[in-house]
Amino acid sequence: MATGFWWDGVEYHRSEREARRRAGMNARFHDPQVKWDGLWAFAAGVTVFPVTALPVLGVAGGLGLAVDGRTVIGILIVVLAVVAAPFAWRVFRPVAERFLGPNAGSRLGRRVRELETIQADLTQTQAAELERIERGLHDGAQARLVAMGMSMQAAERMVDTDPETAKVILAEARASSKAALAELRSLVRGINPPILVERGLVDAVRALALDVPVEVVVHADVPSRPERPVESAIYFAVAELLANVAKHAHAGHVTADLAYTGNALVATVTDDGVGGIPATPAGSGLAGIARRMAAFGGSLEVDSPAGGPTRATVSVPCVL
């Protein structure tokens, strides 16, 4: 610290050595698992070790009886002890899982860390999406509307002196307004596609398939519409997967399957392309899909051997 003292996480010390020693002690004795380790030692001493020692004692006792002349009984006890040995060790697993496995506190801490990571990812994703929308408005529709206003102003000044030129300028302004409207509609479709709102996930994915420059066959077995956030997440995940196929897969045929199984909405995109996509795609669009699925408790699985085919599956738990 700036004062010259060393901080161990709890209190100050004059030397680094003392601070590190006390920090190690605090970590060791304030760890909640230490208590469970002690309970395990006691429970194993009265359950696991006696039970697992019985076969060894049986073998020793049977050999002793055989040496004393009671051969048949001794051999029988040895055989029973050997047969019972694998079953005696089965008591180890439930007791070990109870005391040495993660306790409620560690599970809760792990879940908190997972939720913090998801929250951070969602914050970054939301910020990136807002930047994309702002950039699309500023560089697209806004620029065209400004140019259209300037053209109309020029036409207004020329309408009396040169009406033919004013007509040409107004025609260009009308074309610019159509282009601005098309860009606004495209931006709206990227935020909240109207077909998804009006007709649901299945028809929205079928509409996506029509825009992909590869033959896409859609199979759907979804009995009813899921909640809007889940529906939107699956839709944009499928859109990203189809875009990846069109850009990188060099595929000739693509299949998109939508199904509701095991209380989960599952979408699978399969292509006959070149394959070779890593199963844990960090730093790519697939990583973004995985983060968005994690926000809903879902997952992304990619199976892409070299040479294909590639199968990408997104799954989100939900109740229809």
- Say how many CA atoms lie within 13 Å of 237 toward its Cβ: 36
If one counts the domains in the chain, the total is: 3
pLDDT > 80? residue 128: no
pLDDT > 70? residue 188: no
Cβ–Cβ under 8 Å, residues 84 and 78: no
pLDDT > 80? residue 139: no
Q: Is the dihedral of CA 113, 115, 120, 121 positive or negative?
A: positive
Can you give the pTM of this predicted structure?
0.54
Cβ–Cβ under 8 Å, residues 243 and 251: no
Per the structure, the complete domain to which residue 78 belongs is given by: 32-100
Do 182 and 201 fall into the same domain?
Answer: no
Does residue 23 fall inside a structural domain? no
Helices and strands (DSSP H and E) totals, the chain: 12, 7
Does residue 17 fall inside a structural domain? no
Tell me which range, 119-133, 254-268, 291-305, is most confidently predicted by mean pLDDT: 254-268
Does residue 27 fall inside a structural domain? no
Q: Please, what is the Cα angle at 107 between 106 and 110, to 5 degrees?
A: 85
Q: Give per-residue pLDDT as tens, 219-240.
A: 988 888 888 888 888 888 898 8
Please identify, among 100, 127, 152, the residue that sits at the C-terminal boundary of a domain. 100
Q: Which residue has the higher pLDDT, 177 or 285?
A: 177
Helices 228-244, 201-211: inter-axial angle, 10-degree rounding: 20
The pair of structure tokens assigned to 6 is 């060393």
CA–CA dist 265, 235 (Å, integer): 11
Which has the closest alpha carbon to 40: 87, 86, 92? 92
Give the mean model confidence (pLDDT) for residues 98-121.
Answer: 70
Give the mean model confidence (pLDDT) for residues 67-95.
Answer: 81
CA–CA dist 107, 115 (Å, integer): 12
Do 129 and 214 fall into the same domain?
Answer: no
| Mean pLDDT estimate for the chain | 80
Please identify, among 100, 129, 152, the residue that sits at the C-terminal boundary of a domain. 100
Do 171 and 198 fall into the same domain?
Answer: no
In this structure, the strands spanning 215-221 and 299-303 are: unpaired
Give the mean model confidence (pLDDT) for residues 298-314.
Answer: 85
Does residue 5 fall inside a structural domain? no
Do 257 and 280 fall into the same domain?
Answer: yes
Does residue 15 fall inside a structural domain? no
Which has the closest alpha carbon to 76: 100, 58, 92, 50? 58
CA–CA dist 217, 71 (Å, integer): 75
Which pLDDT band, with edges at 50, 70 and 90, does 98 fall under?
Answer: confident
Q: Give per-residue pLDDT as tens, 24-47.
A: 887 777 766 777 777 888 888 877
Do 96 and 126 fall into the same domain?
Answer: no
- The Cβ of residue 107 has, within 10 Å, a number of other Cβ atoms equal to 11
pLDDT > 50? residue 280: no
